[in-house]
């Protein structure tokens, strides 16, 4: 890869991946390496995520919520592969020591960790010149043969989404002053943004039923595209079937599309499964009390073998230029 052409985080990851492939040491018990929500070695799934002040969270965020979210986004990667939480490491870099802030932050992390029986087993703490940096590495257990890989979506698979999409982005748009919503709606959306629920039980229950999965951290289109590229397939989805909240349905159609198709931070699961598995999936979701929606299907790539997403709206193809505009507007985390 030409280093001058690197434009996004994915180009950097590709460069690191290519470079590491040429290195000599290859460990045979690594069953899944760079490219999925977790790496898998032996019967463990492992994943790491960074949260940086001013990039991933506002300085005035409630520290309890920040603690919760720091672990939740990591647990969400375990959910996406179908793993069960085991333990985690916490890296913390702080510009100063504020006892009350730290107490609340640790309660936010540890309360969520306790719910999922995920034990803090180590980490590192340093001072920082300016920003707060939080780095968590989670470890889960998994039967590697049943892991929900991004690369296993099959032609004709149904595409499913858990929960509702877009509220986190709507809260962000309001907070940034770009699109004002009423205070009751904002408070609900802020909870989605700051206190996401990792879909761990759903992920574990989908092992052996679903073919592929990813958690929606960057936005439906962007994350579904990861499944499609890894599986070398394409998708057709229906705008009307994409699940959005009451709060989002009260906004104009552009805002609805921006938040639901391209809003990050939802931490819902997007997964694919054979149509024959429909009843089993609906039954599992009902048992867990989780809403799921069938939003479309996997189709073959075009003749140039390029993965793409067609979005249908009222039986017509949604104007892709319009969707591109939405993507250009994306709030970049990178």
Chain positions contacting ligand ADP, by CB under 6 A = 13, 16, 34-37, 49, 77, 217
* Positions 105 through 144 that interact with Mg ion (CB under 5 A): none
Angstrom distance (rounded) from CA 55 to CA 57: 6
Angstrom distance (rounded) from CA 331 to CA 95: 26
Site mask for Mg ion (CB under 5 A), range 246-275, x = bound = ------------------------------
Tell me which of 36, 157, 185, 215 binds Mg ion, using CB under 5 A. 215
The item of Mg ion, ligand ADP, none sharing an interface with residue 194, based on CB under 5 to 8 Å by kind, is none
Q: Which residues contact 16 (CB under 8 A, 6 or more apart)?
A: 34
- What's the closest the beta carbon of residue 325 comes to ligand ADP, in angstroms? 23
Q: Which stretch binds Mg ion (CB under 5 A): 104-112, 207-215, 263-271, 273-281?
A: 207-215
Residue number, 185 or 218, with CB nearest to ligand ADP: 218
Q: Are strands 309-313 and 234-238 parallel, antiparallel or unpaired?
A: parallel
**What are the helix (H) ranges across 176-277?**
183-194, 200-206, 220-231, 246-249, 253-262
Residue number, 14 or 313, with CB nearest to ligand ADP: 14
Residue number, 35 or 91, with CB nearest to ligand ADP: 35
The item of Mg ion, ligand ADP, none sharing an interface with residue 13, based on CB under 5 to 8 Å by kind, is ligand ADP
The item of Mg ion, ligand ADP, none sharing an interface with residue 34, based on CB under 5 to 8 Å by kind, is ligand ADP
As a whole number of Å, the end-to-end CA separation of the chain is: 20
- What's the closest the beta carbon of residue 275 comes to ligand ADP, in angstroms? 27
The item of Mg ion, ligand ADP, none sharing an interface with residue 158, based on CB under 5 to 8 Å by kind, is none
Task: Give the chain's length.
Answer: 334
Structure tokens at 140: 């889960």
Q: Which stretch binds Mg ion (CB under 5 A): 17-25, 71-79, 126-134, 234-242?
A: 71-79
Angle formed by the axes of helices 63-81 and 99-115, to 10°? Answer: 30
The item of ligand ADP, Mg ion, none sharing an interface with residue 16, based on CB under 5 to 8 Å by kind, is ligand ADP
**What are the helix (H) ranges across the chain?**
9-21, 63-81, 99-115, 167-175, 183-194, 200-206, 220-231, 246-249, 253-262, 278-288, 320-328
Angstrom distance (rounded) from CA 225 to CA 231: 10
Residue number, 80 or 248, with CB nearest to Mg ion: 80
- What's the closest the beta carbon of residue 9 comes to ligand ADP, in angstroms? 7
- What's the closest the beta carbon of residue 83 comes to ligand ADP, in angstroms? 13
77 sits near Mg ion (criterion: CB under 5 A): yes
218 sits near Mg ion (criterion: CB under 5 A): no
Q: Which residues contact 69 (CB under 8 A, 6 or more apart)?
A: 51, 57, 108, 194, 195, 196
- What's the closest the beta carbon of residue 22 comes to Mg ion, in angstroms? 26
Residue number, 239 or 267, with CB nearest to ligand ADP: 267
Buried b / exposed e along 84-106 (16+ C-beta atoms within 10 A): bbbbbbbbbbbeeeeeebeebbb
Binding stretches for Mg ion (CB under 5 A)? 37, 77, 215
């Amino acid at each position: 890869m030409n280093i001058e052409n690197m434009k996004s985080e994915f180009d950097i990851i590709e460069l690191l991946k290519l470079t590491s492939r040429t290195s000599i040491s290859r460990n045979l018990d690594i069953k899944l390496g760079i490219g999925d929500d977790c790496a898998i070695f032996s019967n463990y799934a492992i994943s790491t995520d960074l949260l940086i002040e001013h990039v991933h969270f506002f300085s005035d965020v409630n520290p309890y919520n920040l603690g919760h979210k720091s672990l939740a986004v990591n647990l969400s990667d375990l959910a996406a592969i179908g793993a069960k939480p085991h333990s985690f490491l916490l890296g913390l870099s702080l510009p100063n020591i504020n006892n009350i802030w730290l107490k609340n932050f640790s309660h936010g992390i540890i309360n969520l960790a306790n719910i999922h029986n995920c034990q803090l087993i180590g980490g590192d703490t340093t001072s920082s010149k300016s920003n707060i940096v939080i780095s968590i590495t989670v470890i889960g257990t998994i039967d590697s043969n049943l892991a929900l890989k991004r690369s296993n979506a099959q032609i004709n698979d149904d595409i499913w989404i858990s929960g509702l999409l877009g509220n986190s982005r709507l809260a962000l748009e309001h907070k940034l002053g770009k699109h004002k919503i009423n205070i009751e709606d904002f408070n609900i959306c802020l909870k989605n943004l700051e206190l996401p629920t990792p879909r761990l039980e759903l992920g574990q229950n989908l092992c052996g039923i679903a073919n592929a999965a990813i958690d929606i951290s960057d936005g439906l289109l962007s994350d579904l595209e990861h499944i499609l590229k890894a599986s070398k397939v394409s998708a057709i989805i229906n705008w009307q079937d994409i699940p959005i909240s009451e709060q989002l349905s009260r906004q104009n159609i552009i805002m609805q599309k921006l938040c639901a198709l391209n809003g990050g931070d939802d931490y819902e699961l997007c997964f694919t499964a054979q149509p024959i598995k429909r009843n089993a999936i609906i039954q599992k979701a009902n048992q867990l009390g989780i809403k799921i929606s069938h939003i479309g299907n996997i189709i073959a790539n075009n003749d140039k073998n390029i993965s793409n997403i067609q979005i249908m709206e009222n039986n017509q193809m949604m104007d892709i230029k319009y969707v591109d505009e939405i993507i250009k507007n994306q709030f970049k985390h990178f």
